[in-house]
Amino acid sequence: MLLDSQVVIVSGVGPGLGRALALRCADQGAKVVLVARTADRVHEVAAEIEARGGRAVPVPGDASSDADAERIARVAMTAFGRIDGLVNNAAVIPPLAPVSEVADDVMRASVDGNFATAYRLTRAVLPTMREQRRGSIVMVASAVFRHPKIGFGAYSVAKHALIGFARSLALEVGPEGIRVNTLAPGKIAGERLDTFFTERAPVLGVDVETLRARYVENIALRRLPEPDEYADAAVFLLSDLSRAITGHVLDANGGEYFD
């Protein structure tokens, strides 16, 4: 198994990608610390992992808080005695608006939800990884980093900050045996994308299935990748299979973009 006996913290655990990340890490042998603001979600996913024979510790909390981030790292150390991996998946999508018109509170909320959570949780685990002289950190960004879209400006700004942090950190901590990479997912099949299609179709004057078909037509694989497929890419970045890779952005989007 790719993550046998490793301890991995996954933030933003919930339906869709967060759940898939947690389950895939556990399936590959990791002991998983599950983080989300909603207590029910982390407990549900922890129960799933335990039912499959894995080990998981649910930690409800908001990692954008220094206190919560440090508490999460302490819980991981108390439960398992080490921290080998961190997947910063926590994210929010702010209301769609032109970036020139985004209200200050909306921009702050986007930065808190999409960047500060990763920034603070990463800082909280670094002392342990430095002491171990080993660790792999994966930031989950977005394809909007490569291809900005009207209305997603506040989201894109925060994701750019996340990638800038990842690249700078990779350079700093590489000599200490710690790798830092970014996964940039494209469209993810599931509830969130279904909601987007439902809300967006009337605005464009088409039905939901027509809009879905338009998106699929722009993907080389002619299908919307599933959460598990993105989670597998994150497992690769966490594992020793990627031991020579750091500071990299891995585009995973089914061939929607070739950057």
| Residues recognised as catalytic | 155
d(CA 25, CA 29): 7
How does 30-54 read in b/e, with b if 16+ C-beta sit within 10 Å? bbbbbbbbeeebbebbbeebeeeeb
Q: CB atoms < 10 A from the CB of 221, how many?
A: 12
Residue 247, phi-psi category: left (phi > 0), alpha (psi -120 to 50), beta (remainder): left
Residue 7, classified by CB atoms within 10 Å of its CB into exposed (0-12), middle (13-18) or buried (19+), is buried
d(CA 188, CA 19): 13
Strands of 7-11's sheet, edge to edge?
A: 56-60, 31-36, 7-11, 85-88, 135-140, 178-185, 249-252
Structural tokens at position 170: 């990779």
Structural tokens at position 127: 């002392």
